[in-house]
Amino acid sequence: MATQIFVNLPVQSLSRSVEFFKQLGYTFNAQFTDQNATCMVISENIYAMLLVKDYFKTFVTREVADTTKTVGAIIALSAESRAAVDTLVDKALKAGATKTKDPQDYGFMYGRSFQDLDGHHWEIMWMDPKHVQQQQ
């Protein structure tokens, strides 16, 4: 079985976050959804658990970061092409996300970023597969 990743993110309003990410084309696993949380399916092995902030607090022993003031993590996702990067980020901005910086274009790599409705920082990037060296 391949390793899976479940990124857990606190949100102010679960329904608002679900609607935002639906506009970006993501789906949700109803089996792991209730009034406190939902499982957003990013890919076959990547998921984002969106947890209402008070519920999120039950999993940690430290203060939850105020994402309006600080960045605690960057969630970086690859895209199939430059156009796919632009499509996803443009959808996010249209749905209410905030642009974080100008596009980064290095020729072999291209990326854009946004903050979601709760201030979480997302990077969407494409890298030319011919440029990636395989590790031995």
Residues ≥6 apart with Cβ < 8 Å to 26: 40, 41, 42
Average model confidence (pLDDT) across the chain: 95
Note the pLDDT tens digit of each residue in 25-69.
999 999 999 999 999 999 999 999 999 999 999 999 999 999 989
CATH superfamily of 66-136: 2,3-Dihydroxybiphenyl 1,2-Dioxygenase, domain 1 (3.10.180.10)
Long-range CB contacts for residues 19-24, cutoff 8 Å, separation at least 24: 20/92, 20/95, 20/96, 20/97, 20/116, 20/117, 21/48, 21/50, 21/116, 23/91, 23/94, 23/95, 24/88, 24/91, 24/92, 24/95
d(CA 84, CA 65): 30
Q: Return the pLDDT at 130.
A: 85
The domain limits of the chain are: 1-64, 66-136
Please determine, looking at this structure, whether the domain spanning 1-64 carries the CATH number 3.10.180.10: yes
Asked if the model's pLDDT at residue 135 lies above 60, the reply is: no
